[in-house]
A and B are shown apart, each in its own frame.
Chain A
């Protein structure tokens, strides 16, 4: 492995979807039929009134357009870039039934958001204080959405996050060609301008305890996300040159000059695996090989993410389960895989896999496991918060947990969906907490 050249992240990760210029934005906006009770709005977990914000773009009312988006979804900027619109708003566009291209809702939303963050507005109005305080634990999308909605209802909010920068996976975990950490921070700044207080500290450590939060705040919202990536539980996992996908993405997004070279093996078939594989290609890897224990058909990644990886030049290997990471002088040098075969469908309809008995070895310079994130359950049971299989159990319309003082949303509840799902969860919980506080205060 020769010394690879320095890497310019911005150059290697240009925007996946380019911005619309004003003329094409208006032309695209005019293509929208302005459906009544539009399917795109219904499909959006945050129910952004899509035809309304698009109409406002066509009339040149960009402030109104941006506010329409942000009032429904405070993370309108990041969602416009990271949302899998193909399976959400754009996927439900009536144009598809008309054999026409769906309206480019994601790019139009980005157009309105770029205008908003480029203007002098950069803030939203908040309501007069109502004397209620809420602590949001975790600084990711769910907590941010919860905090913004609460501020608009006059509730004081403190967000606790254990990372140097708030924003959660928006800051640390999204592929750079979709969303830059700097853009995620613009949304954090928007929240700050609305009076949200961000405090760095790990709950359960750093002198902050849930008992203390219960005393200091009316309600506590848990937006703690999922834990570290699952370990594979095979020999060699701790060798140098083995780095799980989230750490790999965080490393290249936050630290300058992270060159990758030689052959890289990515293990897993989810969207994060695709992100890591694509990033490895762009960072300079000569070859990137992705191994998944089932086949193309069972792969959990979105079809468009898989397509993207094929375009990036990632090579795919099916029915391969890792058995051991092979080392050489303390550094990963390859992976030994078991050949698998598909079996019967299980209760969920997915086909199981069993080893065929044969194995093979694959030589590589780096191994990136991407097996999903573990679930956090510590601390919760003691506070009377029910969990099932590591996910917090809530009343879906309100986000309320078994302990009435606690609400929860985002990945820690839904097991790991999209940013927009976390925003919807946080918003619903904020509304419920605010209404509950009103009732309590008479």
Chain B
């Protein structure tokens, strides 16, 4: 039976599923309900300088009828008094001593200000501190958040200040809005950070209302860039996490964030080295209850794979990610169409012709335009048995495309567009050539 208990940089919790700093962790009542639902930890909505929020605050990108593929927000840090938040942190810790409560912090860039917020947070009972160097909107205009996270020297300096006062583990939350995320990871390490959280939200404008010409979210006829998150950002987050996880000069535990909505996402982040994962958008979309399947699904998968603890599979995928120059140039796959499963949509045909290498064919080697013209020129009639007797033309049959394997470059596009699982498979061809990478070939 899988054991999900986690010790992340010294912070202990029943499972690796944390709520990320954001609206779901705005107050103690929420965090306690989240813990009741099963969350292993919560990073409190960022404590710091007094702020005022605007309305509206969120906008989203829907895709093909699905809501909130991506979410964007222009909300700032907590708008509740610091005393209230600290009192509630203490209350939560008293009632839930085994769950992790992390205080997310963001104050002006003064050593005393940081020392004070660190001390008060730890006095309230926080199990750890997460330095918000990533908030990309609003706070950055006041010299905080991403304004710090985009300058390695500032990040290092403030991390040092925090470490001077901190008694609990310090996590530095990284912004993706930077050319090379590793530069800030190195700076955090130099400043003494105990762990990293990655990634924060990505600068974004989600869309524009084509009637009013005003971008979303609309705040009195205007908008501002926000921070993008949700399922859409997961591939970007996975890459940035991998960059810092596989860099020995970083060498810190990572709490993975970015588009995690289910156990599969979580497993992927852990396979890239994360010790915990943080969730916000999915909880905002569906509520705290989603954690039940995250725990259940991950446990079942671990049992099936024979992993007893999180550490048993943490980082297992990292060695399988390398620079392109080390990939095997002689590895050869081709697409195969399994006729019995083909429904005749011919999306693979048009994708290969227009988007790849023209090696899938329908009628001889006819171009797409010729194929279409031929069927438009055909005279079709409604089948009426009485009138069609003895002259059964019937509907045109299913057209299964043909792959020219000699021309197929094995790009995967047809397999990606095919709507039927298992209809197109990519199969390895033994070309008898030894493994050879570009690095090897160029070195010869």
Residues in chain A within 8 A of chain B (CB atoms): 26-27, 30, 33-39, 41-45, 47, 58, 84, 87-88, 91-92, 94-95, 97-98, 270, 300, 347-350, 396-397, 414-418, 420-421, 424, 428
Stretch at the interface among B223-231, B284-292, B345-353, B424-432: B345-353
* Distance between A85 CB and nearest chain B CB, rounded to angstroms: 10
* A37 and B390 contacting across the interface, CB-CB below 8 Å: no
Contacts of A87 in B (CB 8 A): 382-383
Scan B361-374; emit 1 where CB is below 8 A from any A CB, else 0. 01000001001100
Contacts of A35 in B (CB 8 A): 344-347
By beta carbon, the residue of chain A nearest B380 is A45
Contacts of B380 in A (CB 8 A): 42-45, 47, 424
- Is B422's beta carbon under 8 Å from chain A? no
Contacts of A34 in B (CB 8 A): 347
Contacts of A420 in B (CB 8 A): 382
Q: What are 7 A-B pairs at a CB distance below 8 A?
A: A33-B347, A35-B347, A37-B372, A37-B399, A300-B385, A350-B389, A424-B381
* Interchain CA distance A393-B343 in the complex, whole Å: 38
Q: Given A37-B371, A39-B396: A94 and B345 within 8 A (CB)?
A: yes
* Interchain CA distance A185-B441 in the complex, whole Å: 74
Of B343, B347, B349, B387, the contact of A97 (CB 8 Å cutoff): B343
* Distance between A140 CB and nearest chain B CB, rounded to angstroms: 16
Residues in chain B within 8 A of chain A (CB atoms): 64-65, 343-347, 349-350, 362, 368, 371-372, 375-376, 378-387, 389-390, 395-396, 398-399, 419-420
By beta carbon, the residue of chain A nearest B354 is A36
By beta carbon, the residue of chain A nearest B390 is A348
* B387 and A417 contacting across the interface, CB-CB below 8 Å: yes
* Interchain CA distance A428-B380 in the complex, whole Å: 12
Contacts of B395 in A (CB 8 A): 39, 43, 91-92
* Interchain CA distance A397-B386 in the complex, whole Å: 22
* Interchain CA distance A351-B370 in the complex, whole Å: 43
* Interchain CA distance A406-B143 in the complex, whole Å: 83
Of B362, B378, B389, the contact of A42 (CB 8 Å cutoff): B378
* A84 and B343 contacting across the interface, CB-CB below 8 Å: no
By beta carbon, the residue of chain A nearest B417 is A33
* B65 and A26 contacting across the interface, CB-CB below 8 Å: yes
Contacts of A58 in B (CB 8 A): 64
* Interchain CA distance A36-B398 in the complex, whole Å: 12
Contacts of A348 in B (CB 8 A): 389-390
* Distance between B143 CB and nearest chain A CB, rounded to angstroms: 42
Contacts of A47 in B (CB 8 A): 375-376, 380
By beta carbon, the residue of chain B nearest A33 is B345
Q: Given A26-B65, A41-B375: A98 and B384 within 8 A (CB)?
A: no
* A97 and B381 contacting across the interface, CB-CB below 8 Å: no
Total of A-B residue pairs, C-beta within 8 Å: 100
* Distance between B21 CB and nearest chain A CB, rounded to angstroms: 34
Contacts of B420 in A (CB 8 A): 98
* Distance between B370 CB and nearest chain A CB, rounded to angstroms: 10
Q: Closest 8 interchain pairs by CB?
A: A348-B389, A36-B350, A97-B343, A94-B343, A36-B346, A35-B345, A300-B386, A30-B65
* B389 and A349 contacting across the interface, CB-CB below 8 Å: yes
Contacts of B383 in A (CB 8 A): 87
Of B346, B396, B399, the contact of A43 (CB 8 Å cutoff): B396
By beta carbon, the residue of chain A nearest B66 is A30
Task: Give the one of B65, B380, B390, B399 with max A CB within 10 A.
Answer: B380
* Distance between B344 CB and nearest chain A CB, rounded to angstroms: 5
By beta carbon, the residue of chain A nearest B374 is A37
By beta carbon, the residue of chain A nearest B350 is A36
* Interchain CA distance A39-B398 in the complex, whole Å: 8
Contacts of A37 in B (CB 8 A): 346, 362, 368, 371-372, 375, 399
Of B371, B376, B379, the contact of A397 (CB 8 Å cutoff): B379
* Interchain CA distance A366-B382 in the complex, whole Å: 32
* Interchain CA distance A420-B362 in the complex, whole Å: 28
Q: Given A30-B65, A33-B419, A349-B389: A421 and B345 within 8 A (CB)?
A: no
* Interchain CA distance A38-B349 in the complex, whole Å: 12
* Interchain CA distance A300-B388 in the complex, whole Å: 11
Contacts of B375 in A (CB 8 A): 37, 41-42, 47
* B343 and A98 contacting across the interface, CB-CB below 8 Å: yes
Q: Given A84-B382, A418-B382, A421-B381: A36 and B65 within 8 A (CB)?
A: no
By beta carbon, the residue of chain B nearest A31 is B65
* Distance between B283 CB and nearest chain A CB, rounded to angstroms: 25
Of B65, B347, B381, B396, the contact of A27 (CB 8 Å cutoff): B65
Contacts of A416 in B (CB 8 A): 384, 387
Contacts of A43 in B (CB 8 A): 380, 395-396
Of B376, B382, B389, B396, the contact of A421 (CB 8 Å cutoff): B382
* A98 and B419 contacting across the interface, CB-CB below 8 Å: yes
* Interchain CA distance A44-B350 in the complex, whole Å: 21
* Interchain CA distance A193-B285 in the complex, whole Å: 50
* Interchain CA distance A350-B65 in the complex, whole Å: 48
* A94 and B344 contacting across the interface, CB-CB below 8 Å: yes
* Interchain CA distance A397-B381 in the complex, whole Å: 12
